[in-house]
Chain A
């Protein structure tokens, strides 16, 4: 059994299924999580599935260059920057509201801003 599995190399179909699955989990998380930090983690999943897409296509579609892998490295760096900014904002927000529950972010309304 083990020997048989070891000879089965995953092909592009398997890898692409994996990225689609990761992306779908990410979108599902963004839509359903109530904690802003959880949403940020879900966004990371979606971004990383996008990065993985590039690596997979690099290997199977354009193996003569490493463009897709370079892209993946840049995506990882940018995703880190995005998370840093997001967490900084969430920490400041937590100082005001004592919560980062996105369903309770309702202070900006048309009636607000009257001072």
Chain B
């Protein structure tokens, strides 16, 4: 029963595979609706089961409040991504060359990836953690190369090579920690270890694996190229779901495994966070391609997210989960507009967005709200999320880091405003007329933009996350 959401997702994937085989091409646009209803059913199952906790398979699969929240966030991200991909896969596009093929397989691969991420949130020993981590990674290589043109496959090549390297490092690091502790269960490992040279080597290798998934700065090089080369909906999925999976992995490694030894690496985490946000922000300023620009923006957002690890878990865990929720809806709103615009025009440069407020005022408004949300302008949810994260770092005594994060937020406002300036101040190109907004896109944009406003205005959501997760692991590890 506790595995119901995962089973629904996997069942939907197999159902889609069968339907794709027996349906005619005229019926196939309904595949997206089947996928969406599967994800919707999984969300409903998650919400119903949410207060429960327990374990299966001798403790190898366990759910608690934080695991449920991660699953809910992954499902939201996956469902929205399916809604955003529909137009591109069904051919409701204006420009040639942007259509993606094989829609049945596309949804299947995405749903399997989603199931992998959900299993990872529940993994409790090294075998299930590694297997689910790979299930949450390998399908993404396929998705990045989905368009099969020169750029998309090049993105796939870069992703597969660097992903495999990160996976090898992570595996070797896990092997070292296994050797030091003789334990496979995540929670027993940390208790059986003392810090020493081999331990540090193992932790550094694990950090490299986690950093790759979460695009922390020394390990971020793949992001720009893969985000730019991959099809736009896949980039959207990578930037939210894959990053969420990285955070879930980091929770496992730094809270569950290394929790008893916490406090050794606060400074190291602070340095990672400062590097990540600074490099991401300053690189974003000069980008011309909007997907590449969003890649660096996503890197800097990962830096803010990392601030939550500095304080006590009771404060940090709810703040990070809430910020991830905010980031998922806000970033998907921006990507919704990017996908819609490239569907209809085939254009992807920032300056191509000039005059969008004249031709499609509502879409431009949605993009502006979402960009301001990412920058953290007060009434929007991005501000609230950042406020909690910054206050955790301040409480932990990292005042220099909070100052740096505030400066970075200001810098980020500058480059998000670059896009807004193109849309609102520059005149439209001669001959540009209003572009059609499809129902799927309208729905996805409305949901994401409204959520990114409401999450910041109504405190109910943060209070719920906080009430359910603030006591996570208390008493067992610290």
Contacts and interface: CB of A to CB of B under 8 A. Distances in A.
A100 B157 contact: yes
Contacts of B127: 67, 70-71, 74
A32 interface: no
Given A96-B153, A108-B225, A74 B131 contact: yes
B465 interface: no
Contacts of B427: none
Interface residues of A, number: 50
Assign chain B's interface to a size class: 35 or more
Contact of B130 (A23, A26, A56, A78): A78
Contacts of B428: none
A38 to B, nearest CB: 11
A51 B171 contact: yes
Nearest to A105: B154
Would you call the interface of chain B mostly helix, strand, loop, or mixed?
Answer: helix
Contact of A36 (B145, B150, B157, B171): B157
A40 B161 contact: yes
A92 B148 contact: yes
Nearest to B148: A92
A107 B138 CA distance: 23
B161 A96 contact: no
Interface in B146-179: 148-151, 153-158, 160-161, 164-165, 167-169, 171-172, 174-176, 178-179
B122 interface: no
A101 B207 CA distance: 29
A40 B164 contact: yes
B141 A110 contact: no
B131 A36 contact: no
Nearest to B140: A85
B134 A78 contact: yes
A113 B228 contact: yes
Given A53-B176, A90-B157, A82 B149 contact: no
A72 to B, nearest CB: 10
B161 A82 contact: no
Interface in B269-319: 287-289, 291-292
A86 B225 contact: no
Contacts of A49: 172
B371 interface: no
Interface stretch (B36-44, B253-261, B345-353, B453-461): B345-353
A62 interface: yes
B287 A110 contact: yes
A92 B153 contact: yes
B148 A115 contact: no
B183 A43 contact: no
A85 B154 contact: no
A47 B168 contact: yes
A99 to B, nearest CB: 11
Nearest to A78: B134
B196 interface: no
Given A30-B161, A85-B138, A71 B126 contact: yes
B155 A43 contact: no
Given A46-B169, A78-B131, A85-B141, 10 more contacts: A30-B161, A30-B165, A62-B182, A67-B127, A70-B127, A74-B130, A90-B157, A92-B156, A93-B154, A105-B154
Interface of B: 95, 97, 125-127, 130-131, 134, 138, 141-142, 145, 148-151, 153-158, 160-161, 164-165, 167-169, 171-172, 174-176, 178-179, 182-184, 225, 228-229, 287-289, 291-292, 346-349
Interface of A: 19, 23, 26-27, 30, 36, 39-40, 43, 46-47, 49-51, 53-54, 56-57, 61-62, 65, 67-68, 70-71, 74-75, 78, 81-82, 85-86, 88-90, 92-93, 96-97, 100, 102, 105, 107-108, 110-115
